[in-house]
Chain A
Amino acid sequence: MIINSRFFNRSELIGFIALAAVLFVILPLSLDVFRLNLVAKYLTYAFVAIGLVLCWGYGGILSLGQGVFFGLGGYCMAMFLKLEASSVENTKIQSTPGIPDFMDWNQVTSLPLFWQPFHSLTFTIAAIILVPCLFALIIGTAMFKRRVGGTYFAIITQAVAAILTILIVGQQGYTGGINGMTDLRTLKGWDIRPDHAKIILYFVEVVLLFACIGIAQFIRLTKLGRILVAMREQEDRVRFSGYSVANFKIFAFCVAAIFAAIGGAMFALNVGFMSPSFVGIVPSIEMVIYTAVGGRMSIFGAVWGSILVNFAKTSLSESFPQLWLFGLGALFIAVVLAFPNGLSGIWADHVQPRVDRLIASIRAKKSGGWSGNSVADGAPAE
């Protein structure tokens, strides 16, 4: 693969190669399918985190409701899979065969109109992108055109997350309620449950993740990326330089929503169900924590943050189920107070300089004869 040296600078290139090596080679070779599938689940949050880097880290727009878009993407995918799993022969014991089981339990007797188009995979894929994008466009336009920002915006996104959860739980007959959509089986006849399918889905997800990393990096390097940074600091100056600040915020918010939705759709495929517990306030805040821990200014940092925090969550909640949430809270406070730029900040401030010095000293040793001479030449003159 040829990488344009201007697309990534040297340390980003190292970050890119390291992440690609870990995700494409090291993890698939060293983990069993169960653990690899867990990593696939962690990575679905990395999509959200990359979106948050653009939207929050660069644009300064803190959204505490990314679970909404994760959920919308996930539910769109799950609706398609659920319809396929609810064929007439699979559901012939129901009083109305051919509709999803939870509808039958809730006395719904025919497939609702808004479910109909989800028979088509093309429509579903379009919907995974467009539904969250449109929703973000509406929220963004309503908020940013009225100059609602900062904390108020964060609170409103929280409220939206809460509303959507309540809506999903309340409309049990149409959404599967609190249990969500379970028992997803096949994608166009291809069984998504066996081990080999999980491995393929893992790789599909990693490829999509790198596509999103590429898009985010592209946006970051254009003038739009610099306008986002400028907006974060001096909104008025951007406005009085002739830009519509609201439109740029809406754009960043929509891109973050689309990334989150792709993550949600991959969640439905990899984990095999979707439920409102990935939509609401708590998961939305957790997604912000992953980004903060990884480093909100770093695309790669956000991916590492998602993987590591979730890994810690799994291993700690296996051993100390009651303590985990306190741990997560403490982690967030610690990161915000001590390392505002997260892991990537620690890397850039403490590890990278040491590595650079090490490389420099190795190079100096290799060309020791030459540098020794130059010192010898220079010394008498002083």
Chain B
Amino acid sequence: MATAAHQLTPEEASANPVPEAIVVRFAGDSGDGMQLTGGQFTLSTALAGNDLATFPDFPAEIRAPQGTLFGVSAFQINFGSARIDTAGDQPDVLVAMNPAALKTNVEALKPGGLIIADTGEFGQRNLDKAKYAANPLDDGSLDKWQLLKLDISALTVEAVKPFGLGNKEALRCKNMWTLGLALWMFDRDRAPLVEWLRAKFAKAPSLAEANIAALNAGHAYGETAELGAMGIAQRQVAAAPSEPGLYRTVTGADSIALGLVAGVQLAGLKMFYGGYPITPASAILHSLARLKEYGVTTFQAEDEIAAVASALGASYAGSLGVTCSSGPGIALKTEAIGLAIMTELPLVVVNAQRGGPSTGLPTKTEQSDLYQAVYGRNGDAPLPVIATRSAADCFDCAIEAVRIATQYMTPVMLLTDGYLQNAAEPWKVPDMRSYTPFPATHHTELPPEGEKFQPYARDAKLKRPWVKPGTPGLLHRIGGIEKALGTGNIDYSPSNHQAMTDIRRDKVMGIDVPDQAVAQGSTSGALVVVGWGSTYGPIASAVRRARARGVDVSHVHIRHIWPLPKNLGDLLGSYENILVPEMNTGQLKTLLRDQFLVDAKSLTKVSGQPFRIAEIETAIAAFFDNIPDNEGGELPPDNSQLPSQEAINP
């Protein structure tokens, strides 16, 4: 046991193993509609009341050559009757629509797991494209897994025959056949899907009916083909306990869009969104473009710079300017963000991080823009940085970004990432009455008789007044050149620059940031795992499992990256060891070391894939292994299933 064992809570006692959690991975060609299949399976899972997390994993190419290894698109979902924090380490079920999908995904499948393969796509041509020397469905190479070989292609074509589709169109219904089978496997209701298909193909009713026929045929196949004889039984996964209330699924991108709208409404402002298409940020623009009735104006600019510059112009004119991008786009926006800092105008900049540097891995996730967010500008240019930890959390973080931007007249950087943008999770619909409005005010009061208006006067929070052009009597000029205290006129004098630099720093450092809470565990102890952003899920699960075994480990997850919560230094100092898992090479770790002189250690991963729970569990175990007076430590039960220790980089 670990040195400081603790009393188990009931939640921890049942946390490991989670008996009723299943991971399904749908994999196929980019054109096979796997994201759609996954999305609809997610919806039916949510409607069945399971907790869930998803991981859409798709290539950067829109339509890579058919059948190729790099053209494989996959969608993974983890669902269960207990709390689910991640999309799951290892799939229990792999649906492989072609040889390439099998090849690129089968190694991750749990030993004994089920492979459902469409034999209709395992012809010589596709085997060659996937670089298989022999057909893996026949050569015994898949023996450690359960294999269900079905000619899904032929079964689908047969099912949709009455609708007179061409062969190509008929085959497009394959994904619905597969989905039908999956729905049977987990005893799911088909009705919402039928409804959805009718709405989607409202203009082509025969396509709707063909897809419904394919869906029903897949389902019927499960019922009648006696799959039980092959050891494949229908499984019921009970609903997960959750607080009573109204639920929906939400992706991070939707959640950010909704949070921005909510934030702007709470501030009593209009929103101007300047954007430029970039993966994986564009989905936010797509969502907002449909919400005009909420006082949202969206503008697709000619480039990233124009996107942020127009947003800043709109803030100057009295709206809240918002722009979203990903790393390379944020780099282009940097100069304008500096102007926002200098002119002290509100602005929300969302960075949906992706693998970098440069173009990097556009469709893969990473959290390697923390330095860019906190430090990445010319001059001493501080701005607040907030990081979202889950799809649902994006909503509150976006509101918080709007609050800080408008209450302090500052640009705010909101960090999310490619994983959160696309991942869906159930979300308890918030009661908007529980959010306290934070009305932003445009200054209109004239200065006292005989005095000139001071655009850079300060309130107690060091905030300057926000004056909209169009306001009589308060004419003034602002710009990027250093300005004089109070008047805002151009001023290059040494003492003034010192004073203004100090004020810009003090204003940001003085932002009212909630104290750091402990997500799991206690406020002191042998080890704390400190995370930020989308690593929340795997860290929470790993810590829960470790604690269930009695390991003295706690979890602290930081939302306010800059300024850091005021109690964070003391809190971190109260643990003997600090482990910081990050999808970068150690950026938060460096920040914590710099700010608090603590001996934080890194666990890093930059493979473009989220952390697995097991990777973090291993790192936690390794810590206790390495403590000299630890009597044996507490290791995860089955080390053979865990990845190598090389991932750990203390």
Are A and B associated in one complex?
A: no
Footprint of A on B, CB under 8 Å?
Answer: none
